A = this chain, B = another copy of it.
Amino acid sequence: MLELKTLPEGCGSRRRTTACDTCGARPFSVCASLDDAELARLDAMAERQTLAVGDVLLREGDPASHVFNITGGSVRVYKLLPDGRRQITGFLYAGDFLGLTTGDRYAFSAEAMEAGSICRFRKADYRRLIQETPALEAILLDRANHELAAAQTQMLLLGRKTALERVATFLTDLPGADRMRPTSTGVLHLPMTRGEMADYLGLTIETVSRVMTRLKTEGVIRLTSLSDLTILRPQRLQALAGGEG
């Protein structure tokens, strides 16, 4: 009952590069510590599937029959309250894992946000796999720990940050928004709607929109389209985010 994100390669930042198309379709290909034989074995066991926008990978409460490795596109993971309130707990991209769980039911739902592809393994196969491939278990543990740290950071955001701080944090953490190297082209892409941002940040669409407008008029960001933006004043944005570290 968890989803796992690719570990950042270098420092501790949450940078994410889109998977290269050549290796993206191969399951576990992001796991550098697996050798070719191991990868081939995984490959053989994988059941491939392509994803259209909005496709449901799994639904909270379903029997946890499969483990997923995302090989392309992007996925939103969320939980719902009975009345429809939604909390998006994370966004997943190529290389990420989904659906590991001790329990026999999934504890969340997952849908494709952008078209892509996945490889899935039956739970039993996965269990066998992991026993035969100790390196894999170590990788998964590492990722789980990383994901847990990210979850705690998100709890801090949801429990204690203002709307402005939440949006600023979100933009700061956007793939490509690495403040260390001040972004090559400068243009970032938002792969999600305002509604998804809102449900991820614990806000309403209107509040997200208002904050974005405010950041725009204050010259902190520029929106070239609804889903493409430039961070004009990264320092300022960082400060608004509430400088957690």
Contact = CB atoms under 8 A, between A and B. Distances in A.
Interface of A: 1-3, 7, 12, 60-61, 77, 79, 81-82, 85-87, 89, 100-103, 105, 107-108, 130, 134, 137-138, 140-142, 144-149, 151-156, 158-161, 199, 201-202, 242-245
A148 B103 CA distance: 12
Given A148-B151, A159-B201, A160-B202, 6 more contacts: A1-B148, A1-B149, A2-B152, A61-B245, A141-B144, A148-B148
A41 B160 CA distance: 42
A145 B79 contact: no
Of A77, A147, A160, chain B has the most CB atoms within 10 Å of the CB of A160
30 contacts: A2-B145, A2-B149, A2-B152, A3-B148, A12-B103, A12-B105, A60-B245, A61-B245, A79-B152, A79-B155, A81-B156, A81-B161, A81-B242, A82-B242, A87-B156, A89-B151, A102-B142, A102-B146, A107-B153, A108-B149, A108-B152, A134-B134, A144-B144, A144-B145, A148-B151, A151-B151, A151-B155, A154-B155, A155-B155, A158-B202
Nearest to A85: B160
Contacts of A2: 144-145, 148-149, 152
A205 B245 CA distance: 26
Copies in the complex: 2
B244 A81 contact: yes
Contact of A152 (B82, B100, B142, B151): B151
A192 to B, nearest CB: 15
A151 to B, nearest CB: 4
Contacts of A81: 156, 160-161, 242, 244
Of A101, A154, A156, chain B has the most CB atoms within 10 Å of the CB of A156
A7 B148 contact: no
Given A108-B152, A151-B151, A145 B87 contact: no
Nearest to A12: B103
Nearest to A159: B202
Nearest to A105: B12
Contact of A86 (B145, B149, B160): B160
